[in-house]
Amino acid sequence: MDATGKGRFISLEGGEGAGKSTQVRLLCDRLREAGRTVVQTREPGGTPGAESIRSLLVTGDGDKWDPMTEALLHFAARRSHVETLIRPALEDAKWVISDRFSDSTMAYQGYAQGLGRDAVTELGQLAIDGFKPDLTIILDIPAGEGLARVDQRHSAVDAATVEDRYERMGDAFHKTLRDAFLDIAEREPERCVIVDARGTPEEVGEAIWKAVAARFAKELRVAA
């Protein structure tokens, strides 16, 4: 249990190929080494119901949902995630580290698919009472470099298992995504930290750890 009696919620965000999944794992390892009890999770997903919705969102044709329907599906999954997994873990003084959260819906549906900031904000208020992470790490990488990483990763796996619906949405879409995440960070600097994702996994992981240690120095009992 955290010595402060509080759990903490950290999300990692960014465009395709930014390395979020790897960095979530590395951060969870560092936090466990620091004596924290950690729950590793992802979106869409994290609970059985949310994982069922995930399959509807990350596979198939890019235009199978209109932006509002897509945002509603994300928030349906997110509500299950928050109420079933995240809030209980935080109440139990655990640290929750999530590969994506509501900033992804804002960036993907709000910005890149044109739904708008106000609509996504209102949905978040209705579905999860505006709940947000204590800290969000935004992994920044040029869209082309991120997509090149994705192509390399997919070449090593069975094509039938690839969750690539968003990745196939075109260069302009992914450039807008990058700008969207940077704009989100600029609007909420008290919550968001931008980390350059172009280094090695170890270099990026160290930058993330410095940001986490600076934000939670007291809880982690480390020098900021």
Q: Residue 181: which domain range?
A: 8-214
User: Do the domain assignments include residue 13?
Assistant: yes
Contacts of 79 (CB under 8 A, 6+ apart): 127, 128
Average pLDDT, 10 consecutive residues per value, the chain (224 residues): 72 93 97 96 96 88 88 97 97 97 97 97 98 98 86 58 68 91 97 97 97 92 58
| Widest CA span in the chain | 49
Degrees to nearest 5, angle at CA 143 with 141 and 145: 70
Q: What is the DSSP letter of 173?
A: H
* The pLDDT value given to residue 3: 47
Helices (H), the chain: 20-33, 48-58, 67-81, 87-91, 102-105, 117-128, 143-154, 171-187, 201-215, 217-220
User: Do the domain assignments include residue 1?
Assistant: no
CATH number of the domain within which 153 lies:
3.40.50.300
User: Do the domain assignments include residue 223?
Assistant: no
User: Do the domain assignments include residue 101?
Assistant: yes
User: Do the domain assignments include residue 116?
Assistant: yes
Q: Write out the two tokens for 4.
A: 């402060």
User: Do the domain assignments include residue 222?
Assistant: no
* The pLDDT value given to residue 157: 55
* The pLDDT value given to residue 114: 96
* The pLDDT value given to residue 9: 98
The answer to whether the CB of 140 falls within 8 A of the CB of 214 is no
pTM above 0.75, yes or no: yes
User: Do the domain assignments include residue 2?
Assistant: no
Please give the tally of structural domains in the chain: 1
Give the Cβ contact number of residue 121 at 10 Å. 14
User: Do the domain assignments include residue 100?
Assistant: yes
